[in-house]
Amino acid sequence: MNGRFSIKSMYQKLLGSHEKVNWRRLICNNKATPKSLFITWLTLWGRLPTLDRLFTWKVVSTNVCPLCANCPESVQHLFFECSYSADIWQKVLVALQFSRTPSTFDLELRWMISVAKRTSARCKLLMMFFAECIYSIWLQRNAKVFTQTCLSPADVLKEIKFRVACKATDDQKQLLLF
């Protein structure tokens, strides 16, 4: 720089340099509800207070997944390795006519990152469903922990569809008629 002050240079200095995360398009280009985007953002940063983290901090006495009661709860387990959440995600994929079986969180995330680079209405819709699915699973997990109740995967899918339909464009809504 030539020693002259500019707003741009000050802004860049205050902003600092940060590495770009490869999943940024899943959040920034997504029209899902703000709550779902925030929970998805926390999930992608590994900051959700899952039972494995709480157990490590000695906040809880058990780390067993409240939804399936089979495995320790972690982000990887809760999102799509748990039979309950895998059922919900499978229903989403079938509804949007994607022929794939839910896999690990890391593989699903990698696939969603590639989907987020596309611009078709169907891919944009899937991005919204992904965020709403993570949010809904988190809500059901919390309901199970705090009230010992949770909805069936079919009912969760109905709630997800409703939230997505409220935010979808007209082109995307045509794809929701399933």
Query: How does pLDDT run across 61-73, given as a tens digit for each residue?
Result: 999 999 999 999 9
Q: DSSP alpha helices (H): ranges in the chain? A: 7-15, 24-28, 34-44, 51-56, 75-76, 83-95, 105-116, 121-147, 153-167, 170-175
Tokens 């020693």 belong to which residue? 3
CA-wise closest residue to 37 among 50, 28, 45: 28
pLDDT the model gives residue 178: 62
Helix, strand and coil percent figures for the chain, each rounded to 5: 60, 0, 35
Residue 1 has pLDDT above 90, yes or no: no
Residue 159 lies in a domain: yes
Return the structure tokens found at 55.
């157990």
Residue 86 lies in a domain: yes
Residue 13 lies in a domain: no
Residue 75 lies in a domain: yes
Residue 155 lies in a domain: yes
Q: For the full predicted model, state whether its pTM sits above 0.85.
A: yes
Domain count, the chain: 1
Three-state DSSP class for residue 18: coil
Residue 14 lies in a domain: no
Using CA atoms, how far residue 81 sits from 7, 105, 158, in Å, is: 48, 7, 21
Tokens 């979808």 belong to which residue? 168
Q: Which domain holds residue 103?
A: 20-175
pLDDT the model gives residue 18: 82
Residue 76 lies in a domain: yes
Residue 10 lies in a domain: no
Whole-number average pLDDT of the chain: 95
Separation CA 12–CA 18 (nearest Å): 11
Evaluate whether 82 touches 71 at the Cβ level (below 8 Å): yes
Residue 132 has pLDDT above 90, yes or no: yes
If you ran DSSP here, which 8-state letter would residue 85 be given? H
CA-wise closest residue to 87 among 174, 167, 160, 35: 160
